[in-house]
Structure 1
Amino acid sequence: MSDPAAQGERAASGIPGLDHLLRGGFPSSRLHLIQGDPGTGKTTLALQFLRTGVARRGEPCLYVTLSETKAELEAVAQSHGWTLDGIDIYELTPPGALEDEHYTLYHPAEIELAEMVKGLLQATERLQPVRVVLDSLSEMRLLARDPLRYRRQILGLKAYFAARSCTVLMLDDRTSDEQDQQLQSIAHSVVQLEHMAFEYGRSRRRIRVLKVRGVPGIEGYHDFKIRTGGLVVYPQLVPAQRGAVDLPQPVTSGVAELEALTGGGLTPGTCTLLMGPAGVGKSSVAAQYLASGAIEAPAAAFLFDERRKTFLQRNAALGMNFTSHLADGRVTIDQIEPGDLSPGEFAHCVCEKVDGRGARLVLIDSLNGYLNAIPTQHSPLVRMHELIAYLNERDVTTILVAAQHGIMGMNMAAPIDVTYLADAVMLFRFFEAGGNVRKAVSVVKKRTGSHETAIREFAIGPEGIRVGKPLADFHGVMTGVPTYHGGPSTLLRSDDRGE
């Protein structure tokens, strides 16, 4: 008899993200281990696995339950809008089996392990399943009592199912010693589910493929959610390295002076960081690029700091009307609620706009909002860097907005190491002159080419964004304490500033 697993056959899990991590699904005719604490989604994953076998191939499927009743499994399925048609559920402790035991309390240890296994084998011989789920091994572990007996029993089941070309998922809630790795050494592959709670926002779930024999699986932790309809896994992004390609034209703002500052516009396949204190105009300049870029190609914005309605009203007052762009789908604007998304799910949302809708410009406003709205214990900036690298490989122009702490002076604190994330940095500052608070902008970094080194004043008003000539007559503009050295004033007049 040929070995399906040796021929590369896979049993799809019905979860696209997990199948991606497994390089196509669980190897067929093998025994696999699904580990996780109670409530992490093991039962839901198992039901998706069996339902996929029924739906795609009409395979006979068997769910052997030691810890849940058939009614409980049907309730889980109903919560996802599923039926269990085509799946045989075998209860090793069927209802009514204890009706005559009026004076004793039921305990798993009172059932002989041999009798339980005998019932399992009889059900398998009768139904001839192709896919089998054993839920859960903690009950079998209690019945075995002795680690050696327990290991021998699992090895016996592994050989039995392999001889019948069954693909088996064993569910384990890890109630035993965490250092007990007997099951991991026996199983062909090991998938671990974890659940993490934070002080604010929704809890986070993550999945890890610990091993798959003979398959170079995708390592690391990956976010997942349990939604109505089953598990959704968000694999970490892995940018594909490509050879040299002809880059699209730079993304321009429609403001000639900004084009002069940036050396002709924002280069596709790079990330530009707009950084400065609150209220200096970063989001307005970013919206200007969004509105101008959408004329040439679809664009997407993700808002962490303000409501979608406020964003549209504010920019409409500056002459940037997104109504037509939104109507024809050239611009999408998503408002991200605090604590609602994991880093992996957010990255998936961005990639869906790029790969699914063809967005060529992505605006994330702001990085501070991202760090606060998506709490995580695991290097949030690494996840953002991963996302930006993915977008860069697809020649997408990325704009990040980041607020610095402080208003004026030299004690302006940046929330990040700008070199780690950004290919270009546009720096905004307040400065005081003539009794007025004014705004200045400059480009301090651009990896992909030359840029203007001058500092220019800019203003925001009903006519939009106005950028002045280089501030050649001032020193110390970036410190917030400029010194005027005479000569013709190059500051914007009140009418140019929209005042």
Structure 2
Amino acid sequence: MTQLQSTHLVPTGIPGLDETLRGGLRAGKMYLVSGAPGTGKTTFSLQFIAGGIGRGERCLYIAVTGGDSDLADMAEASGIVLDPALFTAYAVEISDEVMEGPEQRVFHSAEMEPSGAMKDLLAEVRRVKPQRLVIDSLSDLRLLSEDLVSFRRFILAIRREFGNDECTVLLTNNIGQSELDTHMETICHGVIRLEQTAVGYGPVRRRLLVLKMRGRSYRSGWHDFTIASDGIRIFPTLTVDPLRSQKSQRSVITTGNAQLDLLFGGGIDRGTTTAIVGASGTGKTTMANLCLYAGAKRGESAVVYLFEETEDSFKERAAGLGMPVDDFVDQGLITLHQIDVAEFSSGEFCGMLLKEVEELGATTIVLDTLSGYVQAMADERSVYTQLHQLLMYLAHKKVTTFLIMEQHGVFGSERGEIGNMSYLADSILLLRYFEHKGEIRRAISVLKRRRGPHELTIREFSLSSKGINIDKPLTKMQGVLTGVPTLEN
């Protein structure tokens, strides 16, 4: 165990992967990256090499079936500079004789050492003495061996060649190549699986799984990742460490409206989640805008994720209700993100939100709406669990969160995601339509406040160019929440 602890870690050069691996890869060990064609194995390997070049390390990339020219094109497209002083590419060509079939091969299972092309390959490794080595890919290189036993000997020879901390080896493999997968996963110190899935609409979703990391702890489970012009970016699954959460005294922040503060028993608890529930058009977004507008006046930053309307529409509506946000947007106190529901995985969305909190210091988050969020992650069966983890993280960071939750029908109902998610909220603000004297009016009430008492009355409210006006409690009406109240005698 002492030897494992003394082995230093090397950064991978892939954003998000070191965090997933809790520091990087152990130097001098052998790792396998497996996945179907097109999942990003070569891009992964190139970034691993680029990370080594950036640290001044000698790097060797062995491209099987003559892929070295494609390698240069991919590196250029990703903005990776392969410094010839530190980088060597070696192409392994598979002859027509080998491709014709087993009966034409010159290697036999009785041979105790690798020969021919494999012996030349091993000699090149010894000549370069790399600190980072990539062999891409094993499934193609396997064609040079008569059987799996001789091929396994070759891989073990590579591992013996670097028995100390001199070289970190990365092997790629196309999954589904019979028993080769199991043999290589047994030999290697770590195994990383890449996967891509085509959803019903939009781009493919990609994710990564660390299957094995010998002698190391790591973040288990699937982690979303993307491949863009600058390469792979991994979004580690969100975890919450209670020991590292921000410690501060409980505080209450004003909503910007004195009557609404009274309904909440003094204001909204900082670092909690408030669900604003109501039918379409009742003023849910306006209520959230009121709170973040008041925070911006105090100099606090907020981020709004819009799943169902544009940024321009949000600004126009806010200005029409006496809460113009343009100046605060220009100052960076309010940030608006219009989310394309077809473009984001849940991991990518969490990564974007975490950046706003960790790097930009956002203290208020608005998700508008929850149904839009769920639809954006429609192919994610664990969307509610992921959202629960996200809200727990925001609470530990003392970030105040508003969830806009839409009810069905004009007068609303308790179906859909509201029933699934309302337990996550620390406070629930309910907005309703009700009919009175031939008019459709609005009612507001606080149904829940987990951290303290709140007013239990139901009040009428209205929206105008001057903002939000909340009237006295509707003490002479019964059945307001049904939508059709009756007057008391």
Give the TM-score normalised by structure 1: 0.90
Counterpart-to-counterpart distance in 1, 2:176 and 2:414 = 52
Counterpart-to-counterpart distance in 1, 2:179 and 2:369 = 41
RMSD: 2.2
Matching residue of 1:216: 217
C-alpha contact 1:304 1:370 (8 A) present in aligned 2:
yes
Partner-residue secondary structure (3-state), 1:15: coil
After the TM superposition, which residues 163-312 of structure 1 pair with which residues of structure 2 at under 5 Å, given as runs? 165-177=166-178, 180-242=181-243, 245-247=247-249, 249-296=251-298, 297-312=300-315
Q: 1:450 aligns with which of 426, 448, 453?
A: 453
Q: 2:75 aligns with which of 74, 77, 95?
A: 77
C-alpha contact 2:434 2:443 (8 A) present in aligned 1:
yes
Matching residue of 1:338: 341
Unaligned runs of 5+ in 1: 487-499
C-alpha contact 1:5 1:30 (8 A) present in aligned 2:
no
Q: Evaluate the alpha carbon distance shift between residue 262 and residue 163 of structure 1 in structure 2; reply closer, same or farther with a 3 A threshold.
A: closer
* In the alignment, structure 1 residue 385 sits paired with structure 2 residue 388: yes
Partner-residue secondary structure (3-state), 1:165: coil
Counterpart-to-counterpart distance in 2, 1:266 and 1:176 = 58
Matching residue of 1:12: 11
| Deviations 1:314-365, CA, capped at 9 Å, x for gaps | 1100000112211221111111112111111111111111111111111110
For residue 473 of structure 1, report the CA deviation from its aligned partner.
Answer: 1.0
Q: Evaluate the alpha carbon distance shift between residue 305 and residue 220 of structure 1 in structure 2; reply closer, same or farther with a 3 A threshold.
A: same
C-alpha contact 1:4 1:28 (8 A) present in aligned 2:
no
Matched to 2:154, the amino acid is Q
C-alpha contact 2:4 2:215 (8 A) present in aligned 1:
no
C-alpha contact 2:61 2:133 (8 A) present in aligned 1:
yes
Partner-residue secondary structure (3-state), 2:335: strand
Matching residue of 1:120: 121
Partner-residue secondary structure (3-state), 1:206: strand
Partner-residue secondary structure (3-state), 1:35: strand
Partner-residue secondary structure (3-state), 1:321: coil
Counterpart-to-counterpart distance in 2, 1:409 and 1:314 = 23
Unaligned runs of 5+ in 2: 108-113
For residue 442 of structure 1, report the CA deviation from its aligned partner.
Answer: 1.0
Counterpart-to-counterpart distance in 1, 2:220 and 2:65 = 31
* In the alignment, structure 1 residue 93 sits paired with structure 2 residue 93: yes
Counterpart-to-counterpart distance in 2, 1:6 and 1:425 = 49
After the TM superposition, which residues 318-467 of structure 1 pair with which residues of structure 2 at under 5 Å, given as runs? 318-408=321-411, 413-467=416-470
Matched to 1:214, the amino acid is G
Q: Evaluate the alpha carbon distance shift between residue 205 and residue 459 of structure 1 in structure 2; reply closer, same or farther with a 3 A threshold.
A: same
Counterpart-to-counterpart distance in 2, 1:265 and 1:252 = 5
C-alpha contact 2:271 2:399 (8 A) present in aligned 1:
yes
After the TM superposition, which residues 110-149 of structure 1 pair with which residues of structure 2 at under 5 Å, given as runs? 110=105, 112=107, 114-149=115-150
Partner-residue secondary structure (3-state), 2:163: helix
- Count of paired positions: 476
Matching residue of 1:492: none
Counterpart-to-counterpart distance in 1, 2:44 and 2:128 = 22
Q: Evaluate the alpha carbon distance shift between residue 42 and residue 180 of structure 1 in structure 2; reply closer, same or farther with a 3 A threshold.
A: closer
| Greater shift in the superposed pair: 314-323 or 162-171 | 162-171
Partner-residue secondary structure (3-state), 1:344: helix
Give the TM-score normalised by structure 2: 0.92
Matching residue of 2:110: none
For residue 299 of structure 1, report the CA deviation from its aligned partner.
Answer: 1.1
Runs of 4+ off more than 6 Å:
none
For residue 47 of structure 1, report the CA deviation from its aligned partner.
Answer: 0.9
C-alpha contact 1:36 1:173 (8 A) present in aligned 2:
yes
Matched to 2:184, the amino acid is L
Q: Evaluate the alpha carbon distance shift between residue 397 and residue 247 of structure 1 in structure 2; reply closer, same or farther with a 3 A threshold.
A: farther
C-alpha contact 1:5 1:29 (8 A) present in aligned 2:
no
C-alpha contact 1:247 1:268 (8 A) present in aligned 2:
no
Matching residue of 1:154: 155
Counterpart-to-counterpart distance in 2, 1:277 and 1:419 = 15
